[in-house]
Amino acid sequence: MMLNFLRKLRRNNMSSKYLRYAVGEIVLVVIGILIALQINNWNEKRKGEAKTKAMLSQIIDELKLDVEVLQSVNKGYLQKDSLITVFKNSDFSQPLPSNLDSSEFHDLIRTYMPFEVHDRGFQLLMNHIDELDEDFAANLEQLVLIYQDAIPMVIQYMDGMLSILDKHKEYQYQNFEWFSKSNLFYVNSEEEYRYYMYDPIYKNYMTVYREMYINILINSRWTIDQSLKAIRQLDTKLEEETGLDEYLLEAPQELINSMAGTYHFEEKSSDLILENRNGQLYESTYEGDSFYGRAFDSQFIPGDLRYLGDSLFYHDVRSNLRLNADGSISLEDIFGSKITSIEKK
């Protein structure tokens, strides 16, 4: 009897020992699996971060390239506008001044400067949108604004300009004999010059052509400004040096200090408020609404005013701010013409 009891007790002890051993083995296996999963997740996260960084770095490079091209486009159309302005103010019924030549006004509306967006990085990012870290959500929103709103507006007006140029050329070759001489033999006749200087139809074409490049300039400025802000923000998050010195000029601190203050517009009941925030000139006036009350108010969101050089700051897509020698500020249009002066209160 006692012997049977001892045997049973021994078997129970051995079963308990094996059970503890089995449970211990299971626990070790589970811990090993959990550690392996954690390492795998860490590796996948590291790979995802590396892929995100690579895509965003490509976007930065492509944005810089687009900014450079658009700045060149804007420069060309600003030069074109200066010549068209001379044309508008010239009386061709009188002898031309000695500093002008009729050849300068030869077909002023034939210039077209193409732009092809570089968006491979953005398209790649959109194809891997689920892998993007949540920390970059605000950056993604800004990139979508650039690539799906701002740049398409530039391209829209560029397409409109091409359409006007095609229609004008068609009008010329269907109505004037001198067209072939000018284009085949490079001979400009007096009849051709008279068309460019006097014909009201040509002036109508010029009006629409100018409307197109003004809209190209406005939307290019919007694209450039948003792109530079996006690059600067991504640069901070990625902790990279993107080399924006050639695009972002540093304003002298004495200039910023001189411009900071409250200014009164005679045309508006609101005041213009400029602040010095950490060495940057900042506008905090209209809470997102444009001074002009026009469309595309999102283009007028207050914030850092980018320095353009020569006491000039980017204000919005249609205007710049310049500090004058007398301490007042001039609001200038994109062609450098003064819209109004603003006195400090």
Residue spans of the domains in the chain: they are 47-238, 253-344
Phi, psi at 312, each rounded to 5°: -120, 135
CA dist list (Å): 106 to 75, 169, 209: 20, 14, 15
CATH code of the domain made up of 253-344: 2.40.128
pLDDT greater than 80 at residue 270 = no
DSSP tag of 322: E
pTM (2 decimals)? 0.81
* pLDDT score for 255: 93
Mean per-residue pLDDT for 143-159?
A: 95
Q: Of the ranges 2-6, 125-129, 144-148, 301-305, which one carries the lowest mean pLDDT score? A: 2-6
Is a pLDDT exceeding 50 seen at residue 290? Answer: no
CA distance to 169, 231, 313, per residue, from 248 (Å): 40, 11, 11
pLDDT at 294 over 50: no
pLDDT one-digit tens code per residue, 54-72: 889 999 999 999 999 999 9
- Convert the pLDDT of each residue in 206-239 to its tens digit: 999 999 999 999 999 999 999 999 998 898 888 7
Hey, is 314 helix, strand or coil? Answer: strand
Render pLDDT for 17-48 as a digit per residue (tens, 0 to 9). 555 666 666 767 777 777 777 776 676 667 76
pLDDT beyond 50 at 291: no
| Number of neighbouring beta carbons within 10 Å of residue 266 | 8
From CA 243, how far away is CA 231, in angstroms rounded? Answer: 10
- Of residues 18 and 133, more confidence is placed in 133
Q: Are 58 and 143 in contact (CB under 8 A)?
A: no
What is the Cβ-side half-sphere exposure of residue 225, based on CA atoms within 13 angstroms? 26
Kindly report the average pLDDT of the chain as a whole number: 82
Residue 269 is predicted with a pLDDT of 58
| pLDDT tens for each residue of 78-105 | 999 998 988 888 777 766 555 556 667 7
The per-residue pLDDT for 95 is 64
Q: What is the pLDDT of residues 158-181, one digit of tens each?
A: 999 999 999 999 999 999 999 998
Q: Tell whether the model's pLDDT for residue 1 goes beyond 70.
A: no
Lowest mean pLDDT among 247-251, 295-299, 306-310: 295-299
Q: Which of 94-98, 108-112, 259-263, 280-284 has the lowest mean pLDDT?
A: 94-98
Residue % of the chain over a pLDDT of 70: 79
- Residue pLDDT, tens place only, 179-202: 998 888 888 888 888 898 889 999
